[in-house]
Amino acid sequence: EIVLTQSPGTLSLSPGERATLSCRASQSVNSAYLAWYQQRPGQAPRLLIYATSSRAPGIPDRFSGSGSGTYFTLSISGLEPEDFAVYYCQQYGGSPQYTFGQGTKVEIK
């Protein structure tokens, strides 16, 4: 099973600042199978990015994803009030088997 480790655990930033979230995999991940989700309190996860860098429909272009192999990042340029939430990366490793990272909380500084 591929383990995803996200860092930092918590990111304290002000509105308008840039956020960079990391997701490190214990083994190489197919870039086509790396996704990012946003979860607000009391809500289901919402797909932001799939295939490492493709934005899901309706997702603002301030969200971007990059990476390859074992290291992936999610960037949010110019944090809006609604962006303060928890973010998860997710990978598919075949078998089939999907795993999630433990999450990064982006909080208001």
Partner 1 sequence: QVLLQQWGAGLLKPSETLSLTCAVSGGSFSGYYWSWIRQSPEKGLEWIGRTSHTGLSTYSPSLRSRVTFSVDTSKNQFSLKLTSLTAADTGVYYCARGEVGLVGDYWGQGTLVTVSS
Alpha helix ranges (H) inside 16-95: none
CA distance 68 to 72: 6
Tell me which of 2, 13, 56, 59 binds partner 1, using CB under 8 A: 56
Tell me which of 9, 14, 44, 81 binds partner 1, using CB under 8 A: 44
Map residues 69-88 to x or -, x wherever contact with partner 1 holds by CB under 8 A. Answer: -------------------x
- Coil, strand, or helix at residue 83? helix
Nearer to partner 1, 84 or 101 (CB): 101
- Coil, strand, or helix at residue 56? coil
Options 18-26, 60-68, 77-85, 100-108: segment touching partner 1 (CB under 8 A): 100-108
Residue that the structure tokens 């591929």 belong to = 2
Tell me which of 2, 13, 17, 30 binds partner 1, using CB under 8 A: 30
Single-letter amino acid, residue 27? Q
Residue 52 exposed, middle or buried by CB count within 10 Å (0-12, 13-18, 19+): buried
The footprint of partner 1 (CB under 8 A) covers 30, 32-35, 44-47, 50-51, 56, 88, 90, 92, 95-103
